[in-house]
């Protein structure tokens, strides 16, 4: 979702190897790796720690609400 919004706003990350800082990046599902790499490169997301992104963790309500608000404001979904 964030990757799609990045496309609309034309946000491109410059830190292309940032994903290598996270020891659990290999746990990201294959279908999502490119998108996760792109949002990390743009510093849209930070890890849960300096070395972990916790790709298998559940989203909190606040995180889900932030995604929803981004999609609404980007006009990707309606309220």
Q: Is residue 78 part of a domain?
A: no
Confidence of residue 7 (pLDDT cuts 50, 70, 90): confident
Q: Is residue 69 part of a domain?
A: yes
> 23 pLDDT exceeds 90?
yes
Q: Please count the structural domains in the chain.
A: 1
**Mean pLDDT taken over the chain:** 87
Q: Is residue 11 part of a domain?
A: yes
Q: Which domain holds residue 44?
A: 2-73
DSSP string, 10-65: T---S-TTGGGG-TTGGGS-GGGHHHHHHHHHTTS---SSSS---TTSPPPHHHHH
How far is Cα 9 from Cα 24, in angstroms, rounded to an integer? 28
Q: Specify the higher pLDDT residue, 67 or 23.
A: 23
């Amino acid at each position: 979702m964030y990757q799609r919004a990045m496309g609309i706003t034309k946000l491109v990350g410059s830190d292309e190897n940032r994903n290598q800082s996270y020891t659990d990046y290999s746990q990201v599902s294959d279908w999502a790796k490119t998108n996760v790499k792109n949002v990390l490169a743009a510093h849209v997301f930070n890890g849960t720690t300096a070395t972990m992104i916790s790709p298998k963790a559940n989203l909190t309500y606040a995180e889900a609400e932030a995604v929803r608000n981004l999609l609404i404001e980007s006009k990707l979904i309606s309220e």
